[in-house]
Every structure is written in structure tokens, then in C-alpha cells.
A = this chain, B = another copy of it.
Amino acid sequence: MAGKNGRVYEQLFSPTVQHTLDLVGIFVFAISGALLAVRKNFDVFGIAVLAEVTALGGGLFRDLVIGAVPPAAFTDLGYFLTPLLATLLVFFLHPHVERLQTGVNIFDAAGLGLFCVAGTTKAYDYGLGLTASACLGLTTAVGGGVLRDVLANEVPSLLRWDRDLYAVPAIVGSAMVALCIRYEALTPFTSGLAVVTAFVLRLLALRFHWRAPRAWNRRSTVVEGD
């Protein structure tokens, strides 16, 4: 089903390695969804739904856009079951999981790095241009979290100025992959480097509370009311 651009994605890693990395990313994103659901006081089904949506939403959107139907989320049983495992874990152990918030953040950063690289390469495989592929890589990485926040009826933390940088690491990772493809330098090493770059950037943003600027003269607008 892959498009005219060939199968960059599948050649990168062995299928088993790739699949394991995907499941790791899905698992950590599911944990973040399940934890938000507990904080929002949802019941066990609400926790499962939010875990599934957070973990699979970004990839589902990407697959619909590139025409990869049915999406991987619905063809790979492991993709579906992993968030349920995260649900069980959070359901029974969530005070402990919350105490491990630093650990969750680190894994979530790893998920961000893995998904932006996997999303970019898969989009390119299905024939999209380099800019569009990088853009879809970003969407794959952050889309699940946006859906999570929308379902929880909160302003997506991706958009809020008072949260540490989240999109930028994914943009950098996606752009690195797109540039590597452009210059025919995409190898397991370079794509691994993109994963690590996004991962480290996100950790640094968390550590040093890097934030993005808001619009100029914002203060004047506040005064103007809202």
C-alpha cells in the first residue's frame, strides 16, 4: 500500500525493533492520558477511552490523511491492548504512578521523539512531500495529546503559553528526518539521532522551563478586555 516514495519507514529498523518502539511510545502516551482521566475524576471506562485516544489519536489522524485505511490502530491488536494495560496500571497504582511523574515525563519525551520520526517517515512513504511529511510527523507526535485535552474539556496544553515547549522538539525531530530524506542520508543512525534530539530538547525544556513567546504588546490586549 506504500506510495511512490518507497518504503523508507520499513527499512529503517527491523520490523521487530520498530514495533517495539511503537508500543513503547503508545504505552507512555496512554499513561499520560490515563493520569489526566483520573485527575478529571472519570470512571474506569473514561480512563480507558482517554488512554486509547491519547496513544492512538495522532497516528490515526495521520493514517486517515495519507489514506492508510484501516489505520494501524485498528489492524494491530498490540496497539489496541497496550493502552488497556496502561489503564489497568493507572487504575490500580495511580498514586504511585503520579509519584513517578518525572519518570512519566521522560517516557513521554521518548514517545514524542519516536512518534515524530515514525510519523514523518510513514507520511513520506505514502507519497507526501517533505514539508507535508514533517508536518504530519509533528501531528502524529502531538495529535493524541490535543485530542486528550479536548475530550477532557481543557485547553490543549500544546497551545498554552504557560507550559514548557512541547511542539518545538517534535518540529526539530521531524525537520531533521525530512532533511535527511532530502539529502538521502536517512539511516537507522540519523533517524535515531532525530529521535534523541527531540527527546533531549524536550527534557531540557522541562528542566529549564523553556517557553515560547506570546504575541507582542500582549499586555495592551489584556487591558482591552477579553
Contacts and interface: CB of A to CB of B under 8 A. Distances in A.
Interface of A: 37-47, 49-50, 60, 64-67, 69-71, 74-75, 77, 80, 90-92, 94-95, 98, 126-129, 131-132, 135-136, 146, 150-156, 158-161, 167-168, 211-218, 220-221, 224, 226
A86 to B, nearest CB: 12
B74 A161 contact: no
B77 A41 contact: no
A37 B202 CA distance: 23
B211 A41 contact: no
A42 B221 contact: no
A114 to B, nearest CB: 20
A46 to B, nearest CB: 3
Given A215-B38, A215-B94, A131 B77 contact: yes
A161 B42 contact: yes
A39 B70 contact: no
A136 B211 CA distance: 39
A126 to B, nearest CB: 7
A43 B212 contact: yes
Contacts of A39: 221, 226
A57 B157 CA distance: 20
